[in-house]
Amino acid sequence: MIKRTLYFGNPAYLSLKNMQMLIKLPISGNDNEATDEDKNEKYKDRNNQNTFPIEDIGIVILDNQQITITQGLLSSLLDNNSAIVTCDSRHHPAGLFLPLESNLEQSQRFQEQIEASVPLKKQLWQQTISSKIINQALLLNKIGVKSDNMKKWARDVKSGDPDNLEGRAAAYYWKNLFPEELQFQRDRYGKPPNNLLNYGYAILRAVVARSLVASGLLPTLGIHHHNKYNAFCLADDIMEPYRPFVDDIIVTLVRDGEDFTELTPSIKKQLLTIPVIDVFIEEQKRPLMIAVQRTTSSLAKCFSGNQRKIIYPVFRL
């Protein structure tokens, strides 16, 4: 089942009633009511309230400083393995809230993850970077840019990527992804469309972190990333081959001439579809959120010794 992504950009009071998220909006709120990505209105009642079944919710994004959420609702969302993303006053994602336990074998899987050998982690990183580079190459092909060099680099990635082919591929990729007149440079704090990339990646990160927890893994312990200030190193590792799917949405926005200098409601609406966009994994079309679950499940099997390869999606033209 595809879980909903709920976005709240206006003041709201969020509480729990009969295992439903009860959304109370200000009396003056009308056109900008909080709702999910498909604007489903069937739960709306006459008291300016909406309700959504807790079991249907996958991600909640809180993007207003005047939102109130009750402890009962938070607890129920976490019991349902929902990810909760909070945004700061600039509307940038600032925090991610996940359950501490949502898998019956969590303790055992934590131990397997902690005891994973360095050679295993290097091999997993090799697979991850190879998949990332090939997906970047295929996206460049889609927009008419030659990428035979990147396909070769994807094949040449060695265990642990000691030659930093990820960095070499990234330099070529970002130079050619957007129209030349933008003179784009990928920088988290750089000029647009970096803001769109940051927002899209935050949504993707929440999807991956949520799935890692569901698979009984600890998002903090990465296979490559190991910044001591980063609580989601493993999520940042595993999301790498998925980034081109986010890039594809943003490249389309830019090339279609949409104003990308601000994170407008229209752009946010399109980025909020990230969890449900179709990707190909194991030769089958699946929503991204489902594909990520397949990826994290395969990673857990790699840590346990029951599998040797992480299953990642392949970008299709």
What global pTM score does this model have? 0.85
**Predicted confidence (pLDDT) at residue 29 exceeds the cutoff of 80:** no
Can you tell me which residue has the tokens 């969302």? 77
Confidence of residue 30 (pLDDT cuts 50, 70, 90): very low
Residue 101, CA distances (Å) to 205, 213, 214, 215, 271 in order? 18, 7, 8, 10, 28
Cβ 314 vs Cβ 282: under 8 Å: no
Minimal CA–CA distance to 213: which of 294, 291, 99?
Answer: 99
Rounded Cα–Cα distance for residues 241 and 169 (Å): 13
According to DSSP H, which parts of the chain are helical?
71-79, 106-114, 118-142, 148-156, 165-177, 194-214, 233-238, 243-255, 265-271, 288-304
Percent of the chain at pLDDT > 90 equals: 77
Q: What is the pLDDT of residue 90?
A: 78
Tokens of 42: 């069937």
**166 has binding-site annotation:** yes
The top-scoring range by mean pLDDT among 15-29, 102-116, 216-230 is 216-230
Cβ 61 vs Cβ 6: under 8 Å: yes
Domains of the chain: 4-97 (3.100.10.20), 106-304 (1.20.120.920)
Confidence of residue 62 (pLDDT cuts 50, 70, 90): very high
Residue 56 per-residue DSSP state: G
Q: What is the pLDDT of residue 230?
A: 87
Confidence of residue 35 (pLDDT cuts 50, 70, 90): very low
**Predicted confidence (pLDDT) at residue 28 exceeds the cutoff of 60:** no
SS3 of 299, please?
Answer: helix
The 10 Å CB-count burial string (b at 16+, else e) for 231-267 is ebbbbbbbbbbbbbbbbbbbbebbeeeeebeebeeeb
> What is the secondary structure of 193-211 as a DSSP string?
THHHHHHHHHHHHHHHHHH
Rounded Cα–Cα distance for residues 235 and 227 (Å): 12
Minimal CA–CA distance to 50: which of 90, 89, 17?
Answer: 17
Residue 10 per-residue DSSP state: S
Residue type (1 letter), 275: P
Mean per-residue pLDDT of the chain: 90
